[in-house]
Structure 1
Amino acid sequence: MMQERRNAILQELNEYGKVKVADLSKKLECSEVTIRNDIKSMDKEGLLKRTHGGAIRLDEKVQRKYSAESIYRNTEKKRQIAACAYAYIEDRDTIIIDDASSSFYLALYIKEHPEKRIAVVTNSLLVGNELAGVRHVELYLIGGHVGGHLAATMGESALQNMEQFHVDKGFIGVHSINFDVGLTSIETPQMQVKRAILKAASQVYVLADSSKFGGGYVSVICPVKQVYKIITDAQIGKEYVRKAEREQIPLVVASTKYEI
């Protein structure tokens, strides 16, 4: 029932661009409190933008192109992280961007900032779609079997293709970060790609919003100290910042440029 309401709210937003709590309450035959709670949750997930008395549709240039819901979760955090990550890229750098949703926002930021000329290698079809034809970007797309929630190349062909590249910097997302264990992943094909990026890049940056810290894990990509920087947003728990400081983990908090 809740998912049906959420789908109905998104459908209204796609059609009209904005919605009001009172109108949705009548149309969906439920209380205004229920609608407000739905909108509040969807705003936190980055599916819409909450306003006084209702909600508005997210930025159409992303909203209408792709169906993968993970792109629209925590969007402001991911934009913040992308802006911080871009500051570490130098003019004429060669970089690899993986198929994570956080990496996708870095690609959008690169697209919108022509002041640096960059060579970009990626296995992400979404990143490739955004950067193809962009004049300040020299784009290389990794070949291979296409799969995953966010369409990307993977498997043996992709790994062999990636071995041909050596770049200045790599930017990857992760399923979660456990300071005691390392960077973790669920899907084996994606994990193999991330390990290949670790070999191909002189410096690897992990782009991870604050929801990625802690929790359980299935597979470990590498220890946290094997990467150059971990970039996150200002809502990361203070206990993680303190632990990173104690253990000299290379954590960067995007909004404050807090760096260890």
Structure 2
Amino acid sequence: MLPAARHQAIVDAVQRDRVVRVSDLAQQLGVSLMTVRRDIELLEEGGRLERIHGGAKVPGDVSTHEPGFELKSTQLTVEKRAIALEAAGLVHEGMAVGLSAGTTTWALAKELVNGPRITVVTNSVRIADLFHHAASGGSARFASTVILIGGERTPSDALVGPIATAALKQLHLDMLFLGVHGMDADAGFTTPNLLEAETDRAFVAAARKTVVLADHTKWGLLGISTIAPLDAADEVISDAGLGPEAQRILGERVGKIRIAG
């Protein structure tokens, strides 16, 4: 493939998926990782994309852009399942577990429907539906109790806002699994939705222990609103693609970091 065609293919992928990985592009284009990195550098100089750790994104887009659930659920499925399996090992019978909205927490919910009997508190319509269908279809070994808080629905199928926040202030959770849009050394854990940030902060306040679930592409991404600083998390579970510098920073700020899969 000629460089011009390769550059256009990279730009098309970024426009379509909003965030892409170097390794995925190299595989799709049949070239080396170094070639893709050089291409990304040239394209960034031309203002056609923006480099992030391990990949590229739409320039100036991430802080307020909120991808829909359907798109995100098809991305990084192997990494998300590895993270979900690691997280599921932390859940025990009788716990009150918070699951914030997101495709990684949804992947965890798929592991928990046949796990120990727990009480699930979530603001995710998708997660509540998952437990409901598993129980009504008889596939769940035990029927967990699911509490779906109310609120205003976002593109990622999260229920947020004053009603959601007020409900969470009345609850006490043994553990929260928090999905985030981005992680940054200075900004902490972020989201592109202001109301969702407020609701997620209420989740954190309600939990005795907060475990952030975030694949490696979340490092360096910035949403417009900070949910919490890095040191607010007791643990972070990510995947093997998370770079050494990101692991070093998280290791210094977070109680514990787990690399899954």
TM surpasses 0.5: yes
Q: Distance in 2 between matches of 1:184 and 1:126?
A: 21
Q: Distance in 1 between matches of 2:72 and 2:84?
A: 16
Q: Distance in 2 between matches of 1:165 and 1:245?
A: 30
Structure 2 equivalent of residue 250 of structure 1: 256
Q: Deviations along 1:25-79, whole A, 9 cap, x unmatched?
A: xxxxxxxxxxx549xxxxxxxxxxxxxxxxxxxxxxxxxxx97111111011000
Q: Call closer, same or farther: CA 1:249–1:218 in 2, change over 3 Å.
A: farther
Which structure has more relative contact order (CA 8 Å, sep 6+)? It is 2
Structure 2 equivalent of residue 158 of structure 1: 164
Deviation at 1:87, TM superposition (A): 1.1
List alignment gaps of at least 5 residues for structure 1. 7-35, 39-65, 256-260
Q: Check whether the contact 1:96–1:171 (CA below 8 A) recurs between aligned residues.
A: yes
The answer to whether structure 1 residue 89 and structure 2 residue 91 are counterparts is: yes
Q: Call closer, same or farther: CA 1:37–1:83 in 2, change over 3 Å.
A: same
Structure 1 equivalent of residue 120 of structure 2: 120
After TM superposition, the runs of 4+ consecutive aligned structure 1 residues lying more than 4 A away are 246-249
Q: Call closer, same or farther: CA 1:160–1:252 in 2, change over 3 Å.
A: same
Q: Distance in 2 between matches of 1:228 and 1:192?
A: 19
> If the length of structure 2 is used for normalisation, what is the TM-score?
0.68
How many positions carry a matched residue from both structures? 196
Q: Distance in 2 between matches of 1:241 and 1:169?
A: 23
Q: Distance in 1 between matches of 2:75 and 2:85?
A: 17
The answer to whether structure 1 residue 142 and structure 2 residue 149 are counterparts is: yes
Local SS of the residue matching 1:91: coil
Q: Deviations along 1:122-156, whole A, 9 cap, x unmatched?
A: 111100000113433111111223x2122222111
For residue 184 of structure 1, what is the amino acid of its counterpart?
T
Structure 1 equivalent of residue 33 of structure 2: none
List alignment gaps of at least 5 residues for structure 2. 1-7, 14-27, 31-67
Percent sequence identity over aligned pairs: 27
Structure 1 equivalent of residue 80 of structure 2: 78
For residue 124 of structure 1, what is the amino acid of its counterpart?
S
Structure 1 equivalent of residue 181 of structure 2: 175
From 97, 100, 103, the equivalent of 1:101 is 103
Deviation at 1:250, TM superposition (A): 2.6
> If the length of structure 1 is used for normalisation, what is the TM-score?
0.68
Local SS of the residue matching 2:209: strand
Q: Deviations along 1:96-143, whole A, 9 cap, x unmatched?
A: 1011111110101112x33x1111011111000001134331111112
Q: Call closer, same or farther: CA 1:246–1:188 in 2, change over 3 Å.
A: closer
Local SS of the residue matching 1:251: strand
